[in-house]
Amino acid sequence: MREYGRTKNGTHQIKGDPLELGVRIVDKIIWNITEVTNVVNGTFYWYNSDWTTYPTSILVANGKTYQNLANHWWDNHKPQSVIVVYKNGKVDMRRIINSTELGDINNIHVAIGGVGLVNKTDPNFKYSLKDEGFIGKHADVGRKANKTVLGYNIKEDKMYLMTRANIYHKSPYFWQYDLLKLVRDCEYDLAISLDGGGSTFMDANWRYVFRGEANRRINNIVGFGI
Residue 19 has pLDDT above 70, yes or no: yes
Residue 109: the pLDDT is 98
Residue 173 has pLDDT above 70, yes or no: no
Other beta carbons within 10 Å of 113: 32
Other beta carbons within 10 Å of 108: 18
Residue 49: the pLDDT is 96
Residue 46 has pLDDT above 60, yes or no: yes
Contacts of 148 (CB under 8 A, 6+ apart): 40, 41, 161, 162, 163, 193, 194, 195, 196, 199, 200, 202
Residue 175 has pLDDT above 70, yes or no: no
Q: What is the pLDDT of residues 94-103, one digit of tens each?
A: 999 999 999 9
* Distance of alpha carbon 76 from the chain centroid: 21
CA distance 23 to 169: 25
Residue 148 has pLDDT above 90, yes or no: yes
Q: Residue 140 — very low, low, confident or very high, per pLDDT cuts 50/70/90?
A: confident
Whole-prediction pTM value?
A: 0.94
CA distance 221 to 226: 9
CA distance 113 to 125: 16
Single-letter amino acid, residue 178? D
Cα separation of the two ends of the chain: 13
CA distance 45 to 26: 12
Q: Residue 145 — very low, low, confident or very high, per pLDDT cuts 50/70/90?
A: confident
